[in-house]
Structure 1
Amino acid sequence: MNYPWDVLGTEETNDKKVIKKAYAKLIRKYRPDEAPEKFQEINQAYQYALTLLKSNQADDDVVAVTPEYPKKNESEEVQTESPIDVADDVAEVESVVSEFTHTQEIDDVIEEVEEDDTELNLANDILEQFHQMAFAEYKRKKKAESWNFLNQYHEIQDLQLRDSLSKELFKRVAEYNFFQLKENKSLLLNQPMVRLVAEVLEWESQWQEFHQLFPEDYVQHVFSLLEMKGKQKEGEKFYNRPFGVFIEIIMTVIFIGIIYQPSFGLDKELLIIMAYILFNSFSSLSSISMSSMQYMLDFKLFDVYLNEPSLKSKIIRTLTYHVSMIPVYLSAYDAEYFVSLMFPVAAFLLIINVILWFKNKQLLHDWLSGTIMLK
C-alpha cells in the first residue's frame, strides 16, 4: 500500500492544493459525525501527507526526520519532528496535527478548495474562449469587444495560476500564428489582436522571463508584432483596390494598342474587353487569387477564417466581379449603352459596393464568395 496516497485517492505529489482537493472530496462524503472511523483514517492520511510535504520542502542542507507511519484507524495523533528548527515552522506543523477536527474547520477546507476549483475553471474557460476566438471569422475577432473575456484574467487571485495562464496564452499566440503562416501564409492573430492580448496580460513587462522560457522564434515573433509602428493595414481605403484594377485595365489597353491589327477582324474596344477578362480571370483563378496588379500592390485574398480560399470561392468571386463590370464593359464598347441603360445599373452596383465596404470592408464579389482581401 502506498500510504497515504492510496487512502486519499491521489498520486504521490508535493502540491498542497492537490492534497487538499483530494481530502475535501473525501470528507464531503465521510463526515466525522456520520462516519467517524472512516473520517479518522482520512484525516490521519491527510495530516501525514502534509507532514511529508513539509519534509520534502526542507532546505537541502537540513536533514528532515521522516514522520512515523500511522496505523490504520489509530486514535492517537501522529507525532513528528519539525524538518526545520524554526519556531514558526514548528507552530505550523503542530497546527497541522490539530487541524480539521471540527465541522466548521472542515467546511473551511471545502470552501477553500471550491474557490481554487472556481479559479481553475475560470482559467480553463479563458483558454477555451481564446481558442474559439483565434479560429473565429475575421470580421468577428477583429472587433476589440470580442476579446472582453480576457478581462476575467484579473479576477483570478491565485498569482501562480495567473502567471501560468499568461504564459500559456503567449505560447498559443506564437503556435497559432506559426501554424497559419505555414498553412496559408497569413497571421491567425494579427498585430491589433496581439497588442490587445498583450495589454491585458502585461506581456511587455515580462521580456526577460519569456526569453528564458520560450524558443527564441516565439519571443521574436510576438514582440515584433508588439513593436511594429502604426497599425497593420486591414481593409485599406476604398479607392486602393480599384486603383489596382485601373492600372491593370490601362496596361491591357496599352498592350492591345501595340499588337492590334485591323486584320484581327475585331473592334479594338471589344478586343481590349476580352483580353482584360481573360487576363483577370486567369490570375484570379490561379494561386495568387486576384488581379496581377493587386498582387503586386501586396494584397492577399483569404476566406473569412484567414485561410486560402477554395477554388469554388475563386470562381464565384471572378464571375461576380465580371458581371458587376458589365456596365463598364458596355460603356467602353458603346457609350450610348451606358447613358440609356447601364447608368442606373452602374449606380445601383456602386451603392451596393459602398455599403458593403463601410459595413464589412468587402465588395460585392468578396461578400458573395465569402472572401476578404487584406494588405
Structure 2
Amino acid sequence: MVSPGRAPRRIGPFEVPAVGLGCMNLSHAYGVPPTPEDAEHLLRTALEEGVTLFDTAALYGFGANEELLGRALAGHRDRIVLASKCGMTGVNGQRVIDGRPETIRRTADEALARLRTDVIDLYYLHRVDRQVPVEESIGAMAELVETGKVRMLGLSEASAETLRRAHAVHPIAALQNEYSLWSRNPEQGTLAAAAELGVALVAFSPLARGFLTAEPPDPASLVEKDIRRNMPRFGAANYPANLGLRTQLEGIARDAGCTLTQLALVWVLSRGGHLVAIPGTRSVDHLRENMSVLDLDVPSEAVDAAGQVLNAATVHGARYNETTLAEIDTERCGTAG
C-alpha cells in the first residue's frame, strides 16, 4: 500500500503536511475569480482542515492574491508557513519577468505590506530572468534573509543546474516545479538534485490544472482569461486523446477504491519523502478531498498503473506553448515540454 500519511515533511526548518494550498486560482489565471468573501472562506476553511503551507506570488492578480491572504489569514500568522514569489510581476497590466536585484528588493517590500507581515517564511524566485545571472538574483534575495524580511529562499520553474548554482550562493530550501502524472519534468534531473541537496520539491499543479479532478475542464467553455486556452494539452488536436487516458485512470481509481483526484495526489507524493504538493481549488469540497489523501491507503499496484497510463511518453501535447516554454528554465520531457 502507498500511504502519504500525516507525518510532516520538511521545508528548511519548517515541518508541514504533505499537502498545502496553492492560492493562484483565487485571484489569477483561471478566468473569473471567486468573490473576496468566497475566497476568504476557502482560505479559513483550509486552516481548519489542517493546511499550514499557503503559496502565493506578487504576480497573482498583480498583488491582489497577496492582499487576499493578508486579510484572510490575519491573526493566524503563527499557525502557517507563508510562501510568496518575486521575479515576475504585473507591470502596466502585463506579465514581466525581472530578476534584477533592485526589483527584487522593491517587490519584497510591497509583498510584506500586502501580506500584513514582518517576514515571509519562504520567498521564491518565480522565474529565472535570462538577462540576469541567477547568482545576482539570489544574492539580492539572500540580503532579504540577512535583514530579517525573509526566512528561507526557493526557486520556481528551475533546472537542476540552476538549482545547484543558486544553492552555492545561498541555501535553497524549496524548488517549486510543475509535477503531476502528465508533467514529468522533475524526473529529468531536479527530483534527484533536490533530494541530494536536502531541498523540498514543491509540486504545483499536481492535478494537471484540473484535468485529474472529478470535473475536468471543457476547453470550449474556458473563458478568455483562462490560461489553459493556450496550453496545447487542452487544444482540439490533443484533448480528446488525453480524455481517453483519463478514462483509463478513472477505472484504476475505481478499482482501488479511491477517487481520481486522490490517486493522482498519492502518485505525486509517492515520488519521494521530500515532495510536498500544493493543489489549488475554489471548492471547499475539493479542498477536503485533497487533504483526505493524508489518511488514505492506495494499493501500490494502482499507483504504478496510473504512472504507466499517463506519463511524458503517453500525454498528447506540450505543457505550455513554445513562447512560454522559451521563458522557462526547467528541463524538458521531449515533445511534452
Same-fold status (TM-score > 0.5):
no
TM-score (norm 2): 0.24
Q: Which entry has the higher C-alpha Rg, 1 or 2?
A: 1
Q: What TM-score, normalized to structure 1?
A: 0.22
Q: Which has the higher helix share?
A: 1
Structure 1 or 2: larger strand share?
Answer: 2
